[in-house]
Amino acid sequence: MSEEKETALTEDTAGEQFKSGIRDVVPVALGYFAVAFALGIAMRNAGIGPLAGFIISFLNMASAGEYAGTTMIAAHATLIETALMVFAANARYLLMSTAFSQKFDEKTEMIHRWIVGFVLTDELFALAIRRKGPLQPWYYYGMMFLAMPGWAFGTMLGIQFGNVMPDRIVSALSVALFAMFLAVIIPPCRENRTIRAVVLFSFALSFLSTLIPGLKGLPEGVRMITLTIVIAAIAAGLRPVREEEL
């Protein structure tokens, strides 16, 4: 195969991966827009303007972290207090990025890993990790193409127009992303007994952690990362993933 044909094939493959990412992320992007709209209302109440809210959401893409930061801003907390709160809320991404890095082909350049890591979210992680074989960065770029503006514009419009929305609609928007996330994880649970068992065990243990004295007092982010480590260690020990299953 000539060099020109190889280059064309690579471009076609990258383009198909990009379009596939756009197609798969549409429901997630719509969910992001809805939840970000509710986030925008919280930002408005904290005194954050539409442009500032757009920039914050475009550069962060972290719902729990942004809610935590917005709450701290509204409470006039110090920068150190705000940074610690946001770190606790986003601590789970340390584990997610470590696991996600193994999904890429070994030859994937570091610049692609950095860009993908910049927009690593729970929902995009779930969509990407369920794909068979090594992950191509262009697939993730396709998801970013819709997810990032969906989140940022949702925040900006929530700041600008959120106060004119009925309270019931705002409340419904705030839980839309959770329903969408269930739609992402249910299909793999139906196909794989191990995943189904781990998910159900995670639900149960997460609920119990809100009752156990030693855990319920921990910040939510710290509690989440602790449970993730414990559950992942148990699952890896009982049912390790073979190379051909990746």
Give pLDDT tens digits for 192-239: 788 788 888 888 888 888 888 777 777 766 777 777 778 878 887 777
Q: How far is it, in rounded angstroms, from Cα 222 to Cα 152?
A: 26
Q: Could you count the other beta carbons within 10 Å of the beta carbon of residue 148?
A: 19
Residue environment code for 173-210, b if the CB has 16+ CB neighbours within 10 A, otherwise e: bbebbeebeeebbeeebeeeeebeebbeebeeeeeebe
Amino acid present at 180: M
- End-to-end alpha carbon distance in the chain: 29
Q: How confident is the model at residue 180 (pLDDT cuts 50, 70, 90)?
A: low
Which residues, at least 6 apart from 37, have a Cβ–Cβ distance to it below 8 Å? 154, 155, 157, 158, 162, 165, 170, 173
Give pLDDT tens digits for 118-167: 999 988 998 888 888 888 899 999 999 999 999 999 999 999 987 777 66
Q: How far is it, in rounded angstroms, from Cα 68 to Cα 47?
A: 15
Residue pair 180/31 in contact by the 8 Å Cβ criterion: yes
